[in-house]
């Protein structure tokens, strides 16, 4: 069993697409997201900050609170900015358009209105596919990957690396539950 980000993948995300809604430009959307995420050292946050570059002085974030497994809500330049996954947008009761983009999708809302999405991607570590193949040559018949990423992004990485089973869209506590479940199965199944 492997956690995806930072274990099988580099853990360094890069922004691959910015899709603002009407009334917000792509650079503005990226800057708002980066400002809200400024105090986080999560790989997703760092990629947003890197892509946004130097932020205008007016985009100072205050009252930032991180919601584990969901995202960040902060006051940025006087506006409430929520940056996170689909779960956060649903928690805030915001409708978001369907998205089939491969990668991790970061949704942005400003003052309670959906403002757009940013797609980021994390590349597999060099040698990760070889390591999975080596495990299989040693007799491991089932390799499982756990991730908080969306199913589409997780499946793309799993396919590239030769992973047998993927558990996606997990919160940190869900990953523990999955490992416990797999351990319990260990006495019943031979891998």
Pairing of strands 14-20, 61-67: unpaired
Q: Output the DSSP codes for 147-179.
A: -SS-HHHHHHHHHHHT-SEEE-S--HHHHHHHH
Assigned token pair, 134: 């080596």
Cα-based distances in Å from 98 to 3, 44, 86, 105, 181? 26, 21, 10, 11, 31
Let me know: does 136 contact 162? Beta carbons within 8 Å: yes
Query: What residues act catalytically?
Result: 3
Let me know: does 12 contact 113? Beta carbons within 8 Å: no
């Amino acid at each position: 069993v492997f956690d995806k980000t930072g274990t099988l993948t580099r853990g360094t995300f890069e922004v691959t697409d910015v899709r603002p809604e009407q009334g917000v430009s792509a650079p503005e959307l990226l800057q708002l997201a980066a400002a809200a995420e400024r105090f986080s050292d999560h790989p997703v946050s760092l990629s947003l900050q890197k892509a946004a570059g130097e932020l205008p002085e007016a985009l100072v974030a205050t009252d930032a609170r991180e919601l584990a497994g969901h995202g960040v809500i902060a006051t940025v330049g006087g506006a409430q900015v929520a940056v996170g996954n689909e779960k956060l947008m649903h928690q805030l009761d915001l409708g978001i358009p369907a998205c089939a983009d491969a990668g991790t999708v970061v949704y942005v809302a400003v003052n309670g209105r959906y403002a757009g999405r940013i797609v980021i991607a994390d590349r597999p570590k060099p040698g990760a596919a070889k390591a999975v193949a080596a495990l299989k040559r040693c007799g491991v018949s089932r390799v499982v990957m756990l991730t908080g990423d969306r199913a589409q992004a997780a499946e793309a990485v799993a396919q590239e690396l030769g992973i047998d089973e993927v558990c996606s869209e997990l919160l940190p506590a869900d990953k523990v539950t999955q490992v416990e479940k797999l351990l319990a199965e260990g006495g019943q199944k031979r891998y």
